[in-house]
Amino acid sequence: MTGAFPFPVLHRSRDVAVIAKPAGLAVHPGPRTPHSLEDVLPLLSSRHYRAVAAHRLDRDTSGCLAVALSPRGAKALARIFGEGLAQKTYWAVLDALPATPSGTIAAPLAKISSKAAGWRMVVDPAGKPAITHWRVLDADARLVEFRPETGRTHQIRVHAAHMGCPISGDPMYGKGIGPMRLHARALVLPIDPAAPIAVEAALPADWPGFSAPESQ
């Protein structure tokens, strides 16, 4: 495959790239997502290594996604994400504001499934530990920043709903009206602790306007 990579490349070195994934595109193909990011990752590949996503974002989540460009990059990213060293910042528009301007939610998560309803994540005392820090960025726009300490599936979405403030447009844990407003705003990868990779992804153009401070 030849041509220009169709999405913004926020960082690129010999071993690692960070791209801005658009909402609506799955990272991996599946029965309901025959087209995925894997269709275009060959445009970042070399003759010796096929580029591969180092982690995942939900199909309807936009923003920073790390990609391994070499075996060394894949090993380094696997260590960073496996040891919980990657620092992730998400921005979300919520259906309602939390009761306080900032806080931390520690609510274990477990996966449940049924033949009729499929699978979903739920807060369960017997589940895996999950911790998310949050702060309100723009109260009028209901824009909230989330910083997860752990990386459980759907963690931010479930924690937001558990607070009574589901993410706008969330089809599984919220009302599902309109597009889901969850964006992986920033990513820090301390592959080299002395010079970590730090990137930010601009908000999608179709997000509502607001005034918010820079990520901290």
Amino acid letter, residue 123: V
DSSP H or E segment with residue 77: helix 71-82
pLDDT at 96: 96
pLDDT averaged per 10 residues, the chain (length 216): 87 97 93 88 93 95 98 97 96 96 98 86 96 97 96 97 97 94 98 96 86 54
Task: Judge whether 54 and 74 are in contact, CB under 8 Å.
Answer: yes
Q: Which of 58, 60, 95, 170 is catalytic?
A: 58
pLDDT at 117: 76
| 140 noted as active-site residue | no
Distance CA 44, CA 57 (A): 18
Q: What are the angstrom distances between the C-alpha of 206 and each of 23, 25, 179, 181, 209?
A: 11, 16, 10, 10, 9
Give the domain ranges of the chain: 9-200
Closest by Cα among 24, 10, 37 to 181: 24
Tell the CATH superfamily of the 9-200 domain: Pseudouridine synthase (3.30.2350.10)
Task: Judge whether 167 and 160 are in contact, CB under 8 Å.
Answer: yes
Distance CA 154, CA 165 (A): 15
User: Token pair for residue 66?
Assistant: 């790390």
Q: What are the angstrom distances between the C-alpha of 84 and each of 6, 97, 182?
A: 29, 28, 21
pLDDT at 3: 74
pLDDT at 34: 81
pLDDT at 115: 76
